[in-house]
Amino acid sequence: MAVIRLEVEVDSEVYPELYARLRAIGRVEAREERLRQLAASGLVWEAVRMHGPAATALSPPPPAKRARARPPEAQAVPVLVDVVAPPDEAPALPPPLQTEVRAPGPRSARLKRMLDRGLFKNG
């Protein structure tokens, strides 16, 4: 069996959620297994992104079975009708919200780091 050994560094400042979740797994073996699961699911998502949902579809049936298969017969589809009587009076509207307009608070340290690294530039 071929094996690829990787050493992965997860920066707690760049990926705080991922770092916290992986750090919460006490046993090293369990942490390594979780990383393998995340990598495998990431490969599936990448295949779907590149090739569409057909990338995960099962293989088509053999040609002999496909030739004998009949298309399903059309059946009468029931039509659902919902009759609602109009209300006598229009419903009362809730009172307008009484809120104060405040200036936004200071940016978080994580957003500042992302801004410094150029993650918000479109082009």
C-alpha 85, offset from chain centre: 41
pLDDT (mean) for 7-11: 84
Q: What is the pLDDT of residues 16-73, one digit of tens each?
A: 888 888 889 888 888 888 888 888 888 888 888 888 777 666 555 555 555 556 666 6
Q: What is the pLDDT of residues 23-39, one digit of tens each?
A: 898 888 888 888 888 88
Sign of the CA dihedral 105, 109, 114, 118?
positive
Flag whether pLDDT at 113 surpasses 70.
yes
Q: From CA 13, how far away is CA 110, in angstroms rounded?
A: 7
Tokens of 87: 């209300």
Q: Give the pTM.
A: 0.39
User: Around Cβ 10, how many Cβ atoms within 10 Å?
Assistant: 14
Determine contact, residues 25/38, Cβ cutoff 8 Å.
no
